[in-house]
Chain A
């Protein structure tokens, strides 16, 4: 059985196909295990990325820096400009 389209052509279409809902049923995937595996890998990457959580805390000193910068801004804005 010949493949519906060459792998390179299918892959060139992948950026548009993925997420369109038309990828899983594409005729090329019924015949090409390697492209099917590629798609599975890319979907696994996207799925895992969705599960990444914000896991890093900023250093404690950062709040002090922000607080200091805010106070500077407020002090500057409260000083009347010379007329």
Chain B
């Protein structure tokens, strides 16, 4: 990139933040990006990026790329779409970063911005939460009683994380969205209801159905491994 004003991003800098509310107990974790601390390196970086420093923006990308890309990938379940959405999220960040006022942690703000990008994309694709919910209500295996009646309860208190990643990726879009936002990213039902423009009860119901579907999928995972 001979004419680039942007330096290459740092290789695999670990993100020193937590976004959304991911933490034990689903409570929002304190961010280490404290914009009120004048000597914080993260705050200084953010301040420089807000002032138009391209090196600082590239460093922000390095800090957040894995987090944002993983979020996009989990929400849409497609590598190509996740790449496009990550790009769009960082473009939006570049356009809007000067408007960040520190009323929330920057990581939370960036996280929310990304979720909005993904939701807008899903809506453009015609994914309506209302229609999805109606579709899922009529889905016979989504009814609460069906997933329960099986006596083969094999999760036994532990789940392989990779198996869970695969099972989440295989969830129908509506279920996956709610599960990712609530159980992985740590958003509360009222926040999800606000983001998705649905009722809190709807959010709870879809999350429950998502977990039931995951339970069904995970029950068979060890058997698949055993067959190999």
Where the two chains meet, the residues of A that have a C-beta atom closer than 8 Å to any C-beta of B are 7-8, 11-12, 14-16, 18-19, 34-35, 37-38, 40-42, 44-46, 48-59, 62-67, 69-71, 73
Contact = CB atoms under 8 A, between A and B. Distances in A.
Given A7-B148, A8-B144, A71-B5, A52 B204 contact: no
A44 B157 contact: yes
Contacts of A66: 61, 87, 90-91
Interface in B116-149: 144-145, 148
Nearest to A12: B144
Contacts of A46: 183, 211
24 contacts: A8-B144, A11-B144, A12-B144, A15-B207, A15-B208, A18-B208, A34-B148, A42-B208, A42-B211, A45-B164, A46-B211, A48-B158, A50-B183, A50-B184, A55-B66, A55-B70, A56-B69, A57-B66, A58-B82, A58-B83, A62-B65, A66-B87, A70-B91, A70-B94
Contacts, number: 130
A38 B164 contact: no
* Nearest 4 A/B pairs, CB to CB: A54-B70, A49-B183, A15-B208, A58-B69
Given A50-B26, A54-B69, A62 B183 contact: no
B208 A14 contact: yes
A59 B83 contact: yes
Contacts of A37: 153
Interface of B: 1, 4-6, 8-9, 12, 15, 22-24, 26, 58, 61, 65-67, 69-71, 73, 82-83, 86-87, 90-91, 94-95, 144-145, 148, 151, 153, 155, 157-159, 161, 164-165, 168, 179, 183-184, 186, 189, 201, 204-205, 207-208, 211-212, 214-215, 218
Given A40-B153, A45-B159, A62-B86, 16 more contacts: A8-B145, A15-B207, A18-B204, A38-B153, A45-B211, A46-B183, A49-B168, A50-B26, A52-B161, A57-B12, A58-B66, A58-B86, A59-B83, A67-B4, A69-B87, A70-B94
